[in-house]
């Protein structure tokens, strides 16, 4: 997830990943991790 956010240019990928993971379903998070 963090690598996905870095890819799209997020300034704080770790914090953003936590927020996104809370709002997404677990399967969606896994799909993003596979990118």
- CA–CA separation, 34 vs 22, rounded Å? 18
Claim: this prediction has a pTM higher than 0.75: no
Q: How big is the chain by its Cα radius of gyration, in Å?
A: 9
Q: Return the half-sphere exposure (C-beta side, CA atoms, 13 A cut-off) of residue 7.
A: 9
Query: pLDDT tens, position by position, for the chain (35 residues)?
Result: 677 767 777 677 677 777 777 777 777 767 877 87
């Amino acid at each position: 997830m963090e690598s996905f956010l870095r890819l799209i240019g997020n300034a704080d990928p770790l914090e953003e990943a936590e927020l996104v993971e809370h709002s997404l379903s677990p399967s969606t998070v896994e799909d993003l991790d596979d990118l």
